[in-house]
């Protein structure tokens, strides 16, 4: 399977703990995106990378959130001091870039903060 891969699929954590998610994009895609999706809603943009450079962050991305893409390949999203409001599906997507290049999504990591 050469699609976007995300790990873990599910994560249950206690409030206040730190969590880290990983995304492996489609290999030839140089753009990588993180989105968050809550129940009944469409995905909301968090941040994106062009190769290893993080070029844009949404105001949804609080200081407790940090994303990296150190070698321009896989990416990690870390949430520090998790809160119950962080419970959501975290989706990663990748694209070749440019208008007309659709985003291809992984199956997400579902985070539950208890």
Residues near other proteins (CB under 8 A) are 4, 6, 31, 33, 40-45, 47-48, 50, 55-56, 58, 91, 93, 95, 97-108
Give the C-alpha distances (Å, rounded to integers) separating 34 from 4, 20, 51, 62. 12, 13, 14, 14
Q: Under 8 Å CB-to-CB from 105, ≥6 apart: which residues?
A: 4, 35, 43, 91, 92, 93
Q: Which is nearer to other proteins, 15 or 55 (CB)?
A: 55
CB 11 → other proteins: shortest distance, Å? 14
Work out how close the CB of 49 gets to other proteins at its nearest, in angstroms, rounded to a whole number. 9
In the complex, the smallest distance separating the C-beta of residue 106 from other proteins, rounded to whole angstroms, is 5
């Amino acid at each position: 399977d050469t699609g976007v891969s995300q790990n873990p699929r599910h994560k249950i954590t206690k409030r206040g703990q730190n969590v880290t998610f990983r995304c492996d994009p489609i290999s030839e895609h140089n753009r990588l995106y993180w989105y968050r999706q809550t129940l009944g809603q469409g995905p909301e943009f968090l941040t994106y990378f062009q190769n290893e450079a993080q070029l844009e962050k949404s105001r949804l991305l609080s200081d407790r959130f940090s994303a990296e893409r150190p070698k321009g390949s896989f990416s990690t999203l870390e949430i520090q001091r998790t809160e119950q409001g962080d419970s959501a599906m975290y989706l990663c997507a990748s694209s070749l870039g440019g208008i007309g290049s659709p985003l291809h999504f992984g199956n997400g990591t579902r985070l539950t903060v208890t």
